[in-house]
Amino acid sequence: MPVHTVKNASDLDTRVLPSLQRILLPNLNLMSDAVHSSVKGKVVQKGPVVSCRQGDYLLKAVIQEEDLQQSSVSQQASINVFFFGTMAKDFSLSVSQGDIVLLAGFIISKSPTEQTDRLHPCHLEMSGPDACVYVCTSAVSPSRELSAVSSEPRYTYVPLNELKPRRIVNVYGVVIFFKQPFPTKGTDYCSTLKITDQSNAKVGCTIFSERLEDHPKIFTIGDIIRLHRVKAQVFNESMTLLTSLGWSAVTFDGAIGSPVEPRASSRTFHFGEADKRTVETLRQWAASQPLLTSEPTVPLSSVQPRMYFDLSCQLLAKACIDSRCMLLKVWDGTKCGYPLLDVAVATDTWEGQSTTSKDREDMTANILVYDNHVEVAKTLKPGTFLRLYNLHAVPQRDSEQPPDVPSRLSFHLHGGTSFGRGLRVLPSHSPDLQPLKRLLESHADRAVEKEVNDDTLLEVWYTPPESVGAAITEEFYTVQTCRHTLQQVSLAHVKRSTPPVVCHVRAQVRSYKPRKLYQCLKLFCPQCKSIEEVPDDGTIAQVFQEALRNSLPCSEHWAVTSSMDAPGAGRVITMHVASDMVLDNTHSQLLFLESLTLDEMCVISGMHKNIVPVQSENRRMKLLDFSAPFLFCGDKRYYGCKRCSRSTFVEPVVSGGEMWDEHDVAKALGVQLMQYTLLIQFELQDGTSTLDALLWEDAEQFFHVSSAETSANQDLQDKVQLIMDRLHPPGSITAKRPWLELCLSAYSVKDNGRNRVCYQITNTETRGNFFTAH
């Protein structure tokens, strides 16, 4: 290995590479003889191994000259060193921050970052066969042990007037300006926003992310945002914040008294009491700042010609005009004070309800959405609640119209993102949508009272946003996939039958539970047959926190141990790799990580195939409590059965070069792997009776998803939700629910010594042409 360890620091001066000339770092320059020289210094910064574009690996470290008089310490005493390929991995595993290293076989280059990092004008590159490192591992210092056990506070937040250039920080702020994400010329979407806090400093933030759903969910000025791991930078003489590696954003409603519910895109983020207090304090402060109170959205009834305004509304229908323009038909339950322009569109180009009752006609607004906004508008489903930002009320003067007749108003969402122009979907539970929803509901009630012969309004209101279009244009049904040749029977007949028996029935879903789809996902132990809930992130984070409290780095003879700094936490994460695997590709290694938080685990697991969180007990490695996953594989998490697994293990039998899956890891660690499973209880009805039936063993077939994949994939969760909403549209009346052809298995189970009959939906799958659209 090109990284060698020596026992004594003095060996670096005397025994190692005696033929080479030591150069003090301040004396090093581009003309120095790199071939016959060595440098020595303390590792003051050590970055992670990162993969670069060509499939190579890179690690950056900073080493500092130690052998200097105090007076001569200068910026030239610290130098950037880049390690490439296996050298990077070896360095990462063998060298810790604080160690003294001797480097040779380097290339000296001009440092492109001299101006920004104020370090040595040169940097060193360590690659190729001649590069080598000797390291004297420093003893674990008391301060390092202390930092490993201290866990609070988890994050520190920097006031916006105390930002220093180039520092990676966590901040809280109140949003005073924001734009919806727009595509850049690079690979990402960009959101720009401006925030402020009690210090009154105003700081622009630029968020880059390839995924639209990762961008901060800001609905209005006055929302509160928490940013983690953003980099401070000066631009145009002002401080700005820029996303950096592992950044995250969580936003909150800014109104005093509204629930402090974090809006996050990532499923894993830390949110505790301290965050709640910070949000509440910021809300109080913002309420006292007249400039910060958010401009309320303007109802249609208050719109004046030529004004720009934000509108909250429900989408009724949409139609494509051309590639650069879409028409959205919306309402907000109020009546505009001006006559509205009706845009003529062929009936068959509408999606959703284009024809409406006279009463509603007066309340619907046609909105022309241009250019870049078409992309978002295309994805909208009738029924969705929307907010349109910087909408323009344009009076359209008809040339033949007499001057005393008021012009008809049309609404335009112009192209571009200036002034925050854009549109976004609002979740229907948003606090500031509730007045709008109550208003729409009252119209729906009135329509019922009057028995208006037009149920389109009810249709839109009572059907969930996603399914309005579908309910009209798409078919939904189930088919039996078994080969039973059975006469269809009634539910009453099924209940009279003696189990075990299989029946075919035709029934509707009267209700189902759990209503929160994520609660349908369970963990099943094939060994002891127990079913457990999937722990939520709060529970898991707590297990990590517990382990953090008790842990001192463990040491195992079979593992190579190294450490890295937890960014901004003043704590060291310890990493163990089985010796046999050290040379494997970093991404496929089985890693054991100690002293880290769930957040950190989520960041790191994105880059590795298999990571096992561990803690130590008497310096021996031990798994965490089984309420937390014992294994992280990218987005996926695997759990061990509490009853059937051991939390201690001897040396895991690993051999290099293999690709490990969750079964291999579980076996090597003595863990009984829990399987993901979907479990839903339906109440079926068919006019003769009602009957509770489980959907469990054949649930994957029913939904066309894998339970394990669904656990880590929002799209699949949405798909399950979508299907449930078809089976049982929320708020729907019986007549509107589909009739399903089902295969039912009736069987007996022992329950407290008594036989009980259970029913399961088996051999049945859902069909509907929305699958192809999805």
Partner DNA sequence: GGTTAGGGTTTG
Q: DSSP for 573-596, please give it.
A: EEEEEEGGGTTS-TTTSEEEEES-
Q: Choose, by CB under 7 A, the member of 318, 360, 421, 728 that binds DNA.
A: 421
Instruction: Kindly state whether residue 419 participates in binding DNA, applying the rule CB under 7 A.
Output: yes
Closer residue to DNA, CB minimum distance, 113 or 550: 113
Instruction: Kindly state whether residue 89 participates in binding DNA, applying the rule CB under 7 A.
Output: no
Q: How far apart are CA 143 and CA 47, in angstroms?
A: 20
Q: Using an 8 Å Cβ cutoff, are 92 and 101 in contact?
A: no
Please report how close the Cβ of residue 185 comes to DNA at its closest, in angstroms.
4
- Residue 90: which H helix or E strand, with range? helix 85-94
Instruction: Kindly state whether residue 371 participates in binding DNA, applying the rule CB under 7 A.
Output: yes
Instruction: Kindly state whether residue 54 participates in binding DNA, applying the rule CB under 7 A.
Output: no
Closer residue to DNA, CB minimum distance, 190 or 279: 190
Q: Using an 8 Å Cβ cutoff, are 166 and 116 in contact?
A: yes
* Helical axes 537-550 vs 598-605, angle rounded to 10°: 100
Q: How far apart are CA 773 and CA 634, in angstroms?
A: 28
Closer residue to DNA, CB minimum distance, 57 or 682: 57
Size of the site for DNA (CB under 7 A): 45
Q: DSSP for 694-710, please give it.
A: EE-TTHHHHHTS-HHHH
- Which of 368, 378, 375 lies closest to 328 in space, CA to CA? 368
Q: Choose, by CB under 7 A, the member of 30, 73, 245, 653 that binds DNA.
A: 245
Q: How many CA atoms lie within 13 A of 261 on its CB side?
A: 10
Closer residue to DNA, CB minimum distance, 315 or 603: 603
- Which of 87, 72, 70, 80 lies closest to 44 in space, CA to CA? 80
Q: Number of helices (H) and strands (E), helices first, in the chain?
A: 18, 42
Instruction: Kindly state whether residue 408 participates in binding DNA, applying the rule CB under 7 A.
Output: no
Q: Give the pair of three-digit tokens for residue 264.
A: 């996050």
Instruction: Kindly state whether residue 568 participates in binding DNA, applying the rule CB under 7 A.
Output: no
Residue type, 679: L
Residues within window 100-119 making contact with DNA, judged by CB under 7 A: 113
Closer residue to DNA, CB minimum distance, 178 or 462: 178
Residues within window 318-347 making contact with DNA, judged by CB under 7 A: 324
Instruction: Kindly state whether residue 50 participates in binding DNA, applying the rule CB under 7 A.
Output: yes
Instruction: Kindly state whether residue 283 participates in binding DNA, applying the rule CB under 7 A.
Output: no
Please report how close the Cβ of residue 750 comes to DNA at its closest, in angstroms.
55
- Which of 258, 249, 252 lies closest to 278 in space, CA to CA? 252
Please report how close the Cβ of residue 202 comes to DNA at its closest, in angstroms.
7
φ, ψ dihedrals at 99, nearest 5°: -70, 155
Instruction: Kindly state whether residue 184 participates in binding DNA, applying the rule CB under 7 A.
Output: yes
Q: Which neighbouring-strand residues pair with 126?
A: 83
Instruction: Kindly state whether residue 85 participates in binding DNA, applying the rule CB under 7 A.
Output: no
Question: Stretches 239-247, 251-259, 457-465, 590-598: which one binds DNA (CB under 7 A)?
Answer: 239-247
Instruction: Kindly state whether residue 396 participates in binding DNA, applying the rule CB under 7 A.
Output: no
Q: How far apart are CA 759 and CA 291, in angstroms?
A: 61
CA dihedral 285, 287, 292, 298 (to 10 degrees): 160
Q: Choose, by CB under 7 A, the member of 12, 169, 394, 684 that binds DNA.
A: 394
Instruction: Kindly state whether residue 185 participates in binding DNA, applying the rule CB under 7 A.
Output: yes
Instruction: Kindly state whether residue 94 participates in binding DNA, applying the rule CB under 7 A.
Output: no
Q: How far apart are CA 410 and CA 343, in angstroms?
A: 9
Please report how close the Cβ of residue 225 comes to DNA at its closest, in angstroms.
15
Instruction: Kindly state whether residue 84 participates in binding DNA, applying the rule CB under 7 A.
Output: no
Instruction: Kindly state whether residue 233 participates in binding DNA, applying the rule CB under 7 A.
Output: yes
Instruction: Kindly state whether residue 124 participates in binding DNA, applying the rule CB under 7 A.
Output: no
Closer residue to DNA, CB minimum distance, 206 or 258: 206
Please report how close the Cβ of residue 370 comes to DNA at its closest, in angstroms.
3
Q: Choose, by CB under 7 A, the member of 32, 97, 138, 206 that binds DNA.
A: 206
What is the distance between the terminal CA atoms of the chain, rounded to a whole angstrom? 51
Q: Using an 8 Å Cβ cutoff, are 466 and 773 in contact?
A: no
Please report how close the Cβ of residue 724 comes to DNA at its closest, in angstroms.
37
Q: Choose, by CB under 7 A, the member of 89, 120, 154, 179 that binds DNA.
A: 179
Question: Kind of pairing, strands 224-235 and 168-178?
Answer: antiparallel
Q: How far apart are CA 145 and CA 550, in angstroms?
A: 11
Question: Stretches 142-150, 182-190, 350-358, 469-477: which one binds DNA (CB under 7 A)?
Answer: 182-190
**Interface residue list for DNA (CB under 7 A):** 47, 50, 60, 80, 113, 176-177, 179, 184-188, 190, 192, 194, 204, 206, 208, 233, 235-236, 240, 242, 244-246, 306, 308, 324, 368, 370-371, 390, 392, 394, 412, 414-421
